[in-house]
């Protein structure tokens, strides 16, 4: 299985547990590894036969704009389910970072893996 990568994708969303966080947008930074077989696309030089990282990135931005969650964990779980369902992704690794959430850290966040990697 091959991996399509999207790294350091920045999206703005309402995220956080504190009242002040519920009234502002904050930046999340995402890294994704998406399982697929790139051989058909490479053989025919055909985007329609692989995962379109531009379309996936646009969907992630729309997801962030459409939803607000208290927890980064919830954002990650729901986004992973959405991407797997809408793009037919059998396995993914998703890291969601929230920069500046803890003053002593560059970022905090989670990494999840969902699905079966062949």
pLDDT of residue 116: 93
- For the stretch 79-109, pLDDT in tens is 999 999 999 999 999 999 999 999 999 999 9
The answer for 45, left when phi > 0, alpha when psi is -120 to 50, beta otherwise, is: left
pLDDT of residue 117: 83
| Chain mean position to CA 19 | 25
User: pLDDT grade, residue 36 (50/70/90)?
Assistant: very high
Looking at residues 68-85, what average pLDDT do you find? 98
**Catalytic site includes residue 98:** yes
The answer to whether 12 and 24 are in contact (CB under 8 A) is: no
CATH code for 2-115?
3.30.1130.10
Whether pLDDT at 118 is above 90 = no
Looking at residues 39-56, what average pLDDT do you find? 97
pLDDT of residue 112: 98
Relative to beta strand 68-69, strand 107-115 is unpaired
Q: Which two tokens mark 86?
A: 């809408």
Domain range annotation of the chain:
2-115
The answer to whether 101 and 21 are in contact (CB under 8 A) is: no
Q: What is the mean pLDDT of the chain?
A: 96
Looking at residues 32-45, what average pLDDT do you find? 97
Catalytic residue among 41, 60, 92, 98: 98
Round to whole Å and give the CA distance between 116 and 118. 6
Looking at residues 57-65, what average pLDDT do you find? 98
Residue % of the chain over a pLDDT of 90: 97
Whether pLDDT at 65 is above 80 = yes
């Amino acid at each position: 299985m091959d991996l399509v990568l999207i790294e350091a994708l920045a999206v703005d969303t309402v995220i956080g547990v504190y009242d002040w966080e519920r009234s502002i947008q904050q930046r999340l930074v995402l890294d994704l590894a998406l399982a697929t077989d790139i051989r058909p696309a490479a053989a025919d030089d055909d985007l329609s036969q692989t995962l379109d990282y531009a379309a996936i990135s646009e969907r992630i931005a729309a997801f962030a704009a459409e939803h607000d969650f208290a927890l980064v964990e919830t954002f990650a779980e729901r986004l992973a389910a959405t991407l797997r369902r809408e793009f037919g992704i059998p396995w993914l690794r998703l890291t969601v970072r929230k920069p500046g959430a803890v003053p002593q850290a560059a970022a905090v966040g989670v990494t999840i893996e969902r699905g079966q990697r062949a």
